[in-house]
Copies of this chain bind each other. A is one copy, B any other.
Amino acid sequence: MKKQHISEAVIRRLPRYYRYLDDLHNKGVIRISSNSLGSKMGITASQIRQDLSCFGEFGQQGYGYNVKELRGEIGRILGIDKKHTIIIVGVGNLGHALMQNFHFAQNGFSLEAAFDVSPALIGSEINGVLVRDLEELDAYCRASIPDVAVLTVPQSVAQQTVDRLVDLGVRGFWNFTNREVTSEHPDVRFESVHFADSLLTLSYHISRQ
């Protein structure tokens, strides 16, 4: 892989490439041209070629891309083969929905545990994963530090939960609290899902019709 600065915009398009290629692969498609892939994805063929060129040589002029190979390559670039470990902190409706429906394994993550404060939930299993008492979090992380914590706690405790987890050694956060959380630790990465950003994009478009 070339060593160069990859822009955040390119990185954010990679999961979309992966998703489309995975879908094509599952449909039995063997090869695809950058033109056809672009028209499916609503981007230009030259954008695709430019994005992928950041990571090396893919495809052959006139032959298109081998779907399975390119999917595999992009998957590796995204770290899907790394088997990252992940825990869920906060098993309200959203945490519950993720445990029930989100395909962690397909995305290269092993969901190891969930934590909550509710006695009604502690000790139960959701989709084969044990919900533990939040009080056990420190001991749990001391035994094995998860790569990522999913933040599905109430907003009021979002930052303090981050601080506690960073102290315990967690460096990746998938933040659903719709609250900006921060850390002074240089290696900590936050990825936030902002539902409102998505709905407002739709609002923009339907306001113009």
A residues near B (Cβ < 8 Å) are 8-9, 11-12, 14-16, 18-19, 23, 42, 77-80, 82, 84, 92-94, 96-98, 100-103, 106-109, 147-148, 171-174, 180, 187, 189, 191-209
Are A23 and B180 neighbours in the complex by a CB distance under 8 Å? Answer: yes
Chain A's interface: helix, strand, loop or mixed, by majority? helix
In the bound complex, CA of A171 to CA of B172 (Å): 38
In the bound complex, CA of A25 to CA of B209 (Å): 30
In the bound complex, CA of A60 to CA of B196 (Å): 29
In the bound complex, CA of A102 to CA of B198 (Å): 12
Contact of A19 among B103, B148, B193, B197 (CB under 8 A): B197
Are A11 and B209 neighbours in the complex by a CB distance under 8 Å? Answer: no
- Given A12-B201, A96-B93, A206 and B77 touching (CB < 8 A)? no
Which single residue of chain B is at the shortest CB-CB distance from A150? B199
Are B147 and A78 neighbours in the complex by a CB distance under 8 Å? Answer: no
Chain B residues whose C-beta falls within 8 Å of the C-beta of A197 in the assembled complex: 12, 15-16, 19
> Other CB < 8 Å A-B pairs besides A102-B195, A107-B199, 17 of them?
A15-B194, A16-B197, A78-B200, A79-B203, A79-B204, A82-B203, A92-B97, A92-B100, A93-B97, A94-B97, A94-B101, A97-B97, A106-B196, A107-B203, A189-B202, A189-B206, A191-B198
